[in-house]
Amino acid sequence: MNQVGESSVPSGTLEVVPLGGLGEFGMNMMAISWEDTTLLVDAGVMFPDPDHLGVDLIIPDLSYLERRGSRVQALLLTHGHEDHIGAVPYVMPLFEGPVFGTPLTLALVEPKLAEHRVPAAGRLRPVGPGDLVRVGPFEIEFIRVTHSIPGCVALAITTPLGTVLHTGDFKIDQTPIDGVPFDLPRFSQLGDAGLLALFSDSTNVDRRGFTGTELDVVEAFEEIFTSTTGKLVVALFSSSLYRVQVLVDLAAQFDRKVAFIGRSLIQNTEIAQRLGFLRIPAGLQVRDSDVPGLASQDVLCLVTGSQGEPQAALSRIAIDDHRYISVGPDDRVVLSARAIPGNEKAIARTMSHLARRGAEVITSDMKHVHVSGHGSAEELKLVLALTRPQHFIPVHGEYRQLSLHARLAGRVLAGRTPEVNVLLAQDGDQIHFDAAGARLAGRVPVGRTLIDSTRTGEVIDATLRDRRHVAGDGIVVVVAAIARQTGLLAGTPEIVARGFVLEDDDAGALFREAALVATECIMAASVEERADEGLMGERLRVEMRRFFKKRSGRRPLVLPVLMEV
Amino acid sequence: MNQVGESSVPSGTLEVVPLGGLGEFGMNMMAISWEDTTLLVDAGVMFPDPDHLGVDLIIPDLSYLERRGSRVQALLLTHGHEDHIGAVPYVMPLFEGPVFGTPLTLALVEPKLAEHRVPAAGRLRPVGPGDLVRVGPFEIEFIRVTHSIPGCVALAITTPLGTVLHTGDFKIDQTPIDGVPFDLPRFSQLGDAGLLALFSDSTNVDRRGFTGTELDVVEAFEEIFTSTTGKLVVALFSSSLYRVQVLVDLAAQFDRKVAFIGRSLIQNTEIAQRLGFLRIPAGLQVRDSDVPGLASQDVLCLVTGSQGEPQAALSRIAIDDHRYISVGPDDRVVLSARAIPGNEKAIARTMSHLARRGAEVITSDMKHVHVSGHGSAEELKLVLALTRPQHFIPVHGEYRQLSLHARLAGRVLAGRTPEVNVLLAQDGDQIHFDAAGARLAGRVPVGRTLIDSTRTGEVIDATLRDRRHVAGDGIVVVVAAIARQTGLLAGTPEIVARGFVLEDDDAGALFREAALVATECIMAASVEERADEGLMGERLRVEMRRFFKKRSGRRPLVLPVLMEV
């Protein structure tokens, strides 16, 4: 690799601006600029709380990028998780250059672009570990790291001032499922050559020890496959492709057919199979509609919905409302995922519904059925010790994780000469590197843009709606009281609206009709669904949005308030 | 102890009805009846989610007790946690008999009665382990169990049909802080004599292994006391009196003064000291107002707010809004509690605020600073194996915990003759025991009553308000948009109301004024507070309730909706 700028330090400023992911989990995005060239690292989304106001997705405020305009010359993707690629369809129309990523990452981006009708037109450029690409004054090297999905890379970006290393998301899995090791030697070489700055993942800095390998789940699952006499249902993130491989291999070993249930899981496993990242023996995979025709002990269902999302497969199965999949005594449901903070209650509700069906629910508290994709404290220390940067900036985490990682770095790199400079930056901070060193030099506007995509059954009709315009379409609050004892509605639902510009007469009639629609929606639900605030609220929200869209052409923010009395 | 009903089985029915805590965490309450005598075991509350609609407390529906009327002859309390005693002030006026509990439990009940102006008038009867009391056809023996608070007992209730054992909450701590061991031999003797039924705590059935002793935290805290150079702040449940003793002892050892911060912690530690359950060396304790005058390294603050509650001490300290306590670099904050599901996001926000102050935040993921008060799977198995009941009914947990505990019991007691009968009951199920065995015989009305106590600063003005009457006082939704970038209000807050019966002209003026009050409330908050949906929402809720109460005499349900734009 060419070492640029080794002779004398040029008189310019390298500006790095985190636009998302520093001060929150999710929506990771960072801009790196030298003069008139801006590189973008990742473009992710954040998921709202399950009960969060009808918002489906959250992406970073893009006004900084809009202002950089034609100076934005490339988007670099570290890996294919939603919190790193979910905002690509919103970002790509804002610039003209290429999007670099590994083949799997780009394949996961493609259907998003199609869904949003964003033309790719030769802009998606596959790269692999060891590849070098040049963009203006930058040279970017892609370095293999391990995480919970194949095709992850760190980025070594050589700038006129020196090389900066962005780890992306990682853990150090010394025995990865696909056999391709973390390129630790390259990290060490970069340290030898002198690293201007390290930007490193802080997600699990508050966990002691070493996260460990994906292989660690095999033992627990072997025991579960051995002892389960009925159907086996495993809920996981649809992007956990290594986990899917482990489970497919076990299914083959234990003579169970595998069905993928849930749109995103079907899509991701199709892509991974096509690219050779998921190997399924011939005849092993069946469709969801085949499951009712198979004996329970011959089935493994991999399903979406590990976060208790009301519309996902697991929630439908839990209230016995799935077309093909049901569970009962002798069946086992394994939750092979962590709870994303904020989802704990929805997950607990889903698990209790499953228990009511008679199924046994196994969580990672009970057996070792999940391992994180992010490195714990010891892995973070190892990366610091190998790379020995001049400047260290923790990324990916809430402020507490970032500050813990800063402390950790201070301890690991203590006593170095020159002393390491730890910069605790947050979204919007302008980090400036120049001949004199590095500092936080100012702030740019950052924020969140809330996306509300109206869903109708299987069809995804995504609509970008900035909540700044909420006053335009208004807000509708639907208050319904449900008697806990009987599951019946206590009185007519109340409809409260604001900023919904209609003639008064029309409004009265519309709201009376809306109350009827809400009543019907609630009474059409099963007693179990009615008693579940999360499920019922989501159903009511979808129905009411559809109603107001149809009758008024507006898309008010619908806020269901369910009270148990 | 007299063995009643040993000769021939009498021809009557023992009815046990769980009224709360079976199918949810919290609000534990159970009625046990023989002919015209009903015993009540515990009377607890449940805490709502932090963002739950202005509800402060949730208690079981008391209509079953109202209908039992004078047949309710005693209330038996297993221990002094809120989820077992919080509803005592609401229950005591419904019957006339005594309330039995250990001295600490009763002392924790007393201030609640005073607050609600419920006369105790000799009804509180202290009992201790080994004591027997008779109530109608029942004889009750109190048996020492260990948990996270002193003064916990299990109840062995001898009925005309045989003895039933209710464990209360427990773990098996073989080295309890107060030196009084769990009376396992007595559990075994009850098993020898033949136990009609066991009702056992299911809270931690999904955890492997043994929970272990409270003493386990000492090592981690010793390390923390040794290495902390500034102030040490430990957030814990105000009822974790063993934990308080451990920390007080360490403070004495490491020469730090101890300040208790937060109303409930001050009250509980005063009670525990008075009764001899908490020993504080003379001169060690200081007041919160003394803290600013002490050097940081000489201070240990024990504080409330481990759940991120917006009004509690830790949240105020986190946004630098506490009158006497502030934290900065070199200071450490330890979260010595688990997250109650639903509170994770509020806790994460609080921790990030503390990190912004420069303090290091230590959680139980990082060091062993918390140990649960509830027994894990091995402890539950041990109790089953010692007591060998004819019938087993899991209590205290969501449906999933109850069903897991039922499975566990099936495995532990398999092969016994006669086979153990496991009954998976939920709130409202009438469990009938008679000469023919035991079964779920029907249902009684159960549910939840939501309590809304209007708080004004330090004054607690508790008002029982059943949300069934929400139509009477109406609902007010306050929608405010706050710009994330600037922390400023984006436009005037919208006030949306329903069921708020006023003359139209009045309403218009009132709502305009309300919008002004909301604006003032938001702009009077610090930028940090404004950016925190939980803190700002709670403050707005309190202010708006106060405004509507003052101006209209009504107490509408105030629902703040804060949108970040």
CATH number for the domain spanning A30: value is: 3.60.15.10
CATH of the domain at B316: 3.40.50.10710
Query: What residues 42-61 of chain A have any CB closer than 8 A to a CB of chain B?
Result: 49, 53, 61
Domain match, B346 and B381 both: no
Type of residue numbered B307 = Q
B243 pLDDT tier (thresholds 50, 70, 90)? very high
Residue A230 tokens read as: 């009925």
Number of domains in chain B: 3
Residue B466 lies in a domain: no
In this structure, are A144 and A264 located in the same domain? no
Question: What is the phi-psi region of residue B200: left when phi exceeds 0, alpha when psi lies from -120 to 50, beta otherwise?
Answer: beta
- Integer angstrom CA distances of residue B461 from A507, A524, B117, B452: 40, 41, 11, 10
Domain check: are B484 and B549 in the same one? yes
Task: Say if A142 falls within a structural domain.
Answer: yes
Identity at A460, one-letter amino acid code: I
The residue among B129 and B121 whose pLDDT is bigger is B129
Residues of chain A with pLDDT under 50: 1-6, 51, 53, 454-472
If asked whether residues A377 and A334 sit together in one domain, one would say: no
Backbone angles phi, psi at B105, to 5 degrees: -60, -45
Q: What mean pLDDT is predicted for residues B521-547? A: 83
Q: What is the pLDDT of residue A534?
A: 75
CA distances for B249 relative to A421, B218, B350, B367, B495, angstroms: 40, 10, 27, 19, 52
My answer on whether B234 and B282 are in the same domain is yes
Q: Give residues with Cβ within 8 angstroms of B327, minimum separation 6.
A: B230, B231, B233, B317, B333, B354, B357, B358, B359
Cβ–Cβ < 8 Å for A327, A287: no
Compute CA distances B367 → A525, B362, B371, whole Å. Answer: 46, 7, 11
Q: Looking at the predicted structure, is the pLDDT value of residue B289 above 50?
A: yes
User: How many angstroms separate the CA of residue B467 from the nearest CA in chain A?
Assistant: 7
- Nearest CB to B365; choose among A206, A446, A466: A206
The pLDDT value given to residue A381: 95
C-alpha to C-alpha distance for B280 and B317, rounded to whole angstroms: 25
Q: Which residue has the higher pLDDT, B297 or B419?
A: B297
Q: Can you give the residue range of the structural domain that contains B404?
A: 14-209+372-450
- Residue B225, pLDDT score: 98
Residue A114 contacts B, CB cutoff 8 Å: no
- Residues of B within 8 A of A468 (CB-CB) are 481, 490, 565
Contact between B400 and A352 using a beta-carbon 8 Å cutoff = yes
Identify the pLDDT of residue B9.
75
Assigned domain for A59 exists: yes
Whether A522 contacts A530, CB under 8 Å = yes
Q: Do residue B198 and residue B218 come from a single domain?
A: no
Query: Which member of A354, A356, A398 has the closest CB to residue B352?
Result: A398
Q: What is the DSSP letter of B146?
A: B
* Residue B505 banded pLDDT, cuts 50, 70, 90: low
Are B110 and B53 within one domain?
Answer: yes
Q: For residue A525, give both structure tokens.
A: 């639900």
Chain B CB contacts of A230 below 8 Å = none
Nearest by CB to A206, from B366, B400, B468: name it: B366
| 305-344 in chain A: CB under 8 A from chain B | 339, 341-342, 344
A540 within 8 A of A478, measured Cβ to Cβ: yes
Mean pLDDT for B22-39 is: 96
Where is mean pLDDT largest: A265-274, A493-502, B303-312, B499-508?
A265-274
**Of the candidates A335, A362, A389, which is a domain's last residue?**
A362
Of B53, B341, B490, the CB nearest to A344: B341
pLDDT of residue B105: 98
For residue B459, tell me if it sits in a domain. no
Give the domain CATH number at B503. Answer: 3.10.20.580
Q: How far is CA A352 from CA A333, A532, B402, in A?
A: 11, 11, 9
Does the structure show a pLDDT above 70 at B467? no
Residue B452: which pLDDT band, with cuts at 50, 70 and 90? low
Q: Quick one: B268 and B332 in the same domain?
A: yes
Chain A: residue nearest B54 by CA? Answer: A563
Contact assessment for residue A356 and residue A388, using Cβ atoms and an 8 Å cutoff: no
Domain C-terminal end among B337, B362, B387? B362
pLDDT digits (tens, 9 = 90+) for B180-203: 999 999 999 999 999 999 999 999
DSSP 3-state of B170: coil
Do B493 and B522 touch, CB atoms closer than 8 A?
Answer: yes
Of B298, B154, B289, the C-alpha closest to B231 is: B298
Q: Please indicate whether, in this complex, the C-beta atoms of A398 and B365 are within 8 angstroms of each other.
A: no
Cross-chain Cβ contact B399/A470 below 8 Å: no
For chain B, give the mean pLDDT: 88
A564 Cβ under 8 Å from any chain B Cβ: yes
Give the residue from chain A lying closest to B468, CA to CA: A565
Structural domain includes residue A467: no
A113, A88 contact by CB (below 8 A): yes
Are A126 and A249 in a shared domain? no
Instruction: Please determine, for residue B177, whether its predicted confidence score (pLDDT) is greater than 50.
Output: yes
Out of A356, A400, A563, name the one closest to residue B355 (CB). A400
Least confident of A541-545, B7-11, B239-243, B467-471: B467-471
Over residues B398-427, the mean pLDDT reads: 91
For residues B182 and B300, membership in a common domain is answered with no
The verdict on A398 touching B (C-beta cutoff 8 Å) is yes
Q: Which residues, at least 6 apart from B374, have a Cβ–Cβ distance to it below 8 Å?
A: B147, B169, B170, B171, B201, B203, B204, B211
Q: Is residue B461 in some structural domain?
A: no
* Domain end among A411, A435, A450: A450
Separation CA A413–CA A417 (nearest Å): 10
A367 within some domain: no
Helix or strand (DSSP H, E) at A222 = helix A217-227
Q: How many CA atoms lie within 13 A of A383 on its CB side?
A: 34
Question: In the Cβ-directed half-sphere of A505, how many Cα atoms lie within 13 Å?
Answer: 0
Residues A259, A291 contacting (CB under 8 angstroms): yes
> Which pLDDT belongs to residue A460?
26
Best A25, A52, A61, A496 member to test B by mutation, with max B CBs in 10 Å, is A496
A395 and A436 both lie in a single domain: yes
**Mean pLDDT on B138-155:** 97
Q: What are the pLDDT digits (tens) for B433-449?
A: 999 999 999 999 888 77
Q: What pLDDT digit, counting tens, does each position of A52-68 carry? A: 545 667 889 888 999 99
Count contacts between A and B (CB, < 8 Å): 160
Question: ipTM > 0.90?
Answer: no
Sign of CA dihedral B459, B519, B313, B298: negative
Average pLDDT (B415-425) is 86
Q: Which residues in chain B have their CB less than 8 angstroms from residue A481's CB?
A: 467-468, 470
Q: Mean pLDDT lowest for which of B161-170, B330-339, B523-532?
A: B523-532
- Mean pLDDT across the stretch B136-153? 97
By DSSP bridging, strand A299-303 and strand A232-235 are parallel
> What is the percent of chain B with per-residue pLDDT over 70, rounded to a whole number?
90
Instruction: Return the closest-CA partner of residue A315 out of A324, A303, A331.
Output: A303
Q: What confidence score (pLDDT) does residue A489 get?
A: 80
Query: Does residue B244 sit within a domain?
Result: yes
Cβ <8 Å between A561 and B559: yes
Task: Compute the distance between CA of residue B334 and CA of residue B174 in angstroms, rounded to an integer.
Answer: 26
Mutating which of B314, B349, B380, B399 best tests the A interface, going by the most A Cβ atoms within 10 A?
Answer: B399
* Backbone angles phi and psi of A166, in degrees to 5: -110, 120
Are B168 and B27 in the same domain?
yes
